[in-house]
Structures are given as C-alpha cells and as structure tokens.
A and B are shown apart, each in its own frame.
Chain A
Amino acid sequence: MKDGTLIGYDQAMNIILTDTHERLFSSTEPMKSVPIGVYVIRGETIALIGQLDEELDEAADYENMRIEPMDAVFL
C-alpha cells in the first residue's frame, strides 16, 4: 500500500507518484510509513486508487493500529 502525489498517468493506467511512502501494516507493530521517493507503477498491478482525505489521514491514529496487512488481490 503506497501513498504519494499523483503527477502522471497514461492510458494503460501506469502512474507516477512523487513523495511516495509505503505503508507497512503489522499485527504486532504500529504502522510504518517508509519513504520510497518517486515511483512508477505499472497499471496492471494496481488494484485500487483512492484519494486521501488529508484531514482524516492526519487525524487517524495509525500509531496504535495493530492490524494485518490487506490480503493480496493478485494471486
């Protein structure tokens, strides 16, 4: 799961994100947000693109979340 700023896309749904962070969820540790810079993601590998509500995102208590990562969609 990645969050970043969408700066480009094409007809194949490939996308470019800047200021990307990978969100690592764990059932034993708090959510970790790892900065990974600029990411070009192949459209085929994308399941869902959601717009983050920044207010809600700031308010969310990710530090106290101990949750399993989501299951893979692509098997």
Chain B
Amino acid sequence: MLFYSFFKTLVGQPVTVELKNDLAITGVLVSVDQFLNIKLDNIKVVDEGRYPHMLAVKNCFIRGSVVRYVQLPAASVDTALLQDAARRERQQPAAGVRK
C-alpha cells in the first residue's frame, strides 16, 4: 500500500509514464488506484514522430500492469519521508502477512 499512498501524494503533478512497449506518455496525474492504474490528463506522447497513433487522445487511463516506469518531478518527492515510511511498513507488516 506504500506505493499507492505515495502516488496519491503526487496527484496534480506532471509525470511521464513509460509502458512496457516503450511508449512514454507525459501528463498530469489525475488519479491512481490500488492496482496502480493511472489516469493522466493533458497527455503528450514523448516521441510523437514515432508514435502518432494517439495524437487525438487528450486524457487516458493506463492499466497498472503495463507500466514499466513512472518518471516523477524530483522536487515533489520527499525521499527522507519515503524512506521513513518504507521502514515503518517493514516494522508493521500488513495484517495477515507472515514474516
């Protein structure tokens, strides 16, 4: 759930999502769910010359399972806080999960 919570803090930020077929899409993060499905607004395909297929698409929903990377604006990531949250999640594993 950590990454879900983390992505929720990035709503409204510009991100670039790279899919497993190398297609990269930049847009404003609108929402994210528990599967890390992502909704983007105001999208632009990064290499439009090579991938003009989606030039008429302005907002989209991306299935979490096809995402390879999400590139984030460095300024909106608090790495210290993230590290701390990761440690805390390690200390208190989710209910029902055996160590």
Please determine whether chains A and B interact with each other in the same assembly.
yes
Does more than half of chain A's interface fall in helix, strand or loop, or is it mixed? loop
Please give, as numbers and ranges, the residues of chain A lying within 8 Å of B57 by CB-CB distance.
Answer: 50-53
User: Top 9 A-B pairs ranked by shortest CB distance?
Assistant: A50-B57, A57-B56, A50-B60, A71-B21, A56-B56, A47-B66, A49-B61, A73-B21, A73-B66
Q: Is A39 an interface residue (CB 8 A)?
A: no
Please give, as numbers and ranges, the residues of chain B lying within 8 Å of A36 by CB-CB distance.
Answer: none
Between A and B, 23 residue pairs with Cβ closer than 8 Å are A1-B53, A13-B63, A23-B53, A43-B63, A47-B21, A47-B63, A48-B66, A49-B60, A50-B59, A50-B61, A51-B57, A51-B59, A52-B56, A57-B56, A65-B52, A70-B21, A70-B23, A71-B22, A71-B23, A73-B19, A73-B20, A73-B66, A74-B66
Closest to A68 in B: B50
Rounded to whole angstroms, the CA-CA distance of A47 and B68 in the bound complex is: 12
Q: Is A60 an interface residue (CB 8 A)?
A: yes
CB distance from B96 to the nearest CB of A (A): 22
Q: Name B's A-contacting residues (CB within 8 A).
A: 19-23, 43, 50-63, 66
CB distance from A59 to the nearest CB of B (A): 8
Does more than half of chain B's interface fall in helix, strand or loop, or is it mixed? mixed
Contact A67 B53 (CB under 8 A): yes
Please give, as numbers and ranges, the residues of chain A lying within 8 Å of B54 by CB-CB distance.
Answer: 50
Q: Name A's B-contacting residues (CB within 8 A).
A: 1, 13, 23, 25, 43, 46-54, 56-57, 60, 65, 67, 69-75
Rounded to whole angstroms, the CA-CA distance of A73 and B62 in the bound complex is: 12
Please give, as numbers and ranges, the residues of chain A lying within 8 Å of B58 by CB-CB distance.
Answer: 50-51, 53, 56
Rounded to whole angstroms, the CA-CA distance of A21 and B58 in the bound complex is: 19
